[in-house]
Copies of this chain bind each other. A is one copy, B any other.
Amino acid sequence: MQQKKEIINKLRSSNLRPTKQRILIARKLFDREETFHFTAESLNKAVNEKRHTKISLATIYNTVEAFKKAGHIREILTNNSKSYYDTNIKSHHHFYDPDSKKLTDIDYQEVILKKIPNPPKGKKIKDLEVVISLQKK
């Protein structure tokens, strides 16, 4: 749960002017118990379903990009044509079910890596993500 004030601080601290739209989107994303998996389209729906004055789709895209750059959300790997995002920014992994196109978090400690390769020369590891694709039994 994050109060409006906290949300505004979160925005300010990442150099994002706390506009009506950003506050609304941020509350939708962060003011909840569970982490949240979404696409631009599903967020647009979630934000606008009960509103008379809509937030434009362009703003949804702008805001998602801004929040991603600020590190408040992260983009998830899939091989779907849409971009998926996650409000859980802690290192963790995913199940992906191609049938329902749904992602589920896998808790960090559920996956233990015993060995990982050295990155190529001049590069360092930014992120490591495990995706387990599912199918019907």
Contacts and interface: CB of A to CB of B under 8 A. Distances in A.
Interface of A: 75-79, 81, 83, 95, 97-98, 104, 106-107, 110-117, 119-120, 122-137
Given A79-B76, A113-B112, A134 B130 contact: no
**Copies of this chain held together in the complex:** 2
B130 A128 contact: yes
A136 to B, nearest CB: 7
Q: Mostly helix, strand, loop or mixed at chain A's interface?
A: strand
A128 B130 CA distance: 7
Contacts of A116: 110-111, 130, 132
Given A77-B131, A111-B116, 9 more contacts: A77-B78, A98-B126, A111-B113, A112-B113, A114-B114, A120-B134, A122-B137, A128-B130, A128-B132
Contacts of A114: 112-114
Given A95-B120, A125-B132, A83 B77 contact: no
B137 A133 contact: no
A64 to B, nearest CB: 13
A14 to B, nearest CB: 19
